[in-house]
Structure 1
Amino acid sequence: MVSLNCLADVCLIPIGTGHASVLDEVTLITQLARELHLSTTLHSAGTTIEGPWSEVMDLIGQMHEKVHHHGVIRIQSDIRVGTRTDKKQTPQDKIDIVEKKLKNI
């Protein structure tokens, strides 16, 4: 089992649903993440999940399963995962440091 903490930026893309909206699918996977008590940050094109590597990867698999169980036959996911060992950093920490720097320009 991998012991690293990570930040995973995930965008599940349901294919063949017959409509452009992904609101239902985003709601399903967000509800699942919150039930599992992993920290998530929604953004306009996906979700950032923070936590232990194995739990985050398991959650991504569960997200696929949940969306499939609700009738979506095909899903593509874009996943970008970051790890670091020198400090713990939340998604908001990363945003705040850029905003702080912008104020000092």
Structure 2
Amino acid sequence: MHAIADFCVIPMGVTASVSEYIAECQRVIEKSGLPYSMHSYGTNIEGEWDDVCRVMKECHEAVHAMGSPRVSTSIRIGTRTDKTGQTMQDKVNVVHEILAKDKK
């Protein structure tokens, strides 16, 4: 089943700046080969359900390996069966097309 997830990994019990931890998580995501888009408060990732969940687990493992004693993650996952082949970018493009009509 194809899934699009938005998740935010939160290292706990570490310094106030978590940029190094998030960079390591992004390395894990990049290595997965799944399409993704990092934003200011998390990452969108898409692929088969099991692959998406595996990558989120690997992010937890990587952040723990860096010394974070606790990791919390907020996750939203969407799936659909009425359409196939719609990507994260397709969803964004549709909204941009609607907004472009406002400027005409």
Name structure 2 gaps, 5 residues minimum. Answer: none
Q: State the distance in 1 between where 2:85 and 2:8 align.
A: 23
Give, in angstroms, the shift of residue 7 of structure 1. 0.4
Q: SS state of the match for residue 17, structure 1? A: coil
Q: State the distance in 2 between where 1:46 and 1:84 align.
A: 22
Q: State the distance in 2 between where 1:18 and 1:52 align.
A: 34
Q: State the distance in 1 between where 2:25 and 2:15 align.
A: 19
Structure 2 equivalent of residue 84 of structure 1: 80
Query: In angstroms, what is the RMSD of aligned CA positions?
Result: 1.0
Q: State the distance in 2 between where 1:9 and 1:89 align.
A: 16
| Structure-1-length-normalised TM-score | 0.90
Match of 2:19 among 20, 23, 28: 23
- Cα shift readout 1:12-69 (whole Å, capped 9, x = no counterpart): 01112122x2211111111111112111111111001110100111111111011000
Superposed structure 1 runs of 4+ greater than 4 Å apart: none
1:9 aligns with 2:3: no
Name structure 1 gaps, 5 residues minimum. Answer: none
Q: State the distance in 1 between where 2:64 and 2:73 align.
A: 13
Match of 1:36 among 32, 35, 38: 32
| Structure-2-length-normalised TM-score | 0.91
- The count of aligned residue pairs is 101
Give, in angstroms, the shift of residue 87 of structure 1. 2.2
Q: SS state of the match for residue 80, structure 1? A: strand
* Pairing 1:66-105 to 2, within 5 Å after superposition: 66-85=62-81, 86-105=83-102
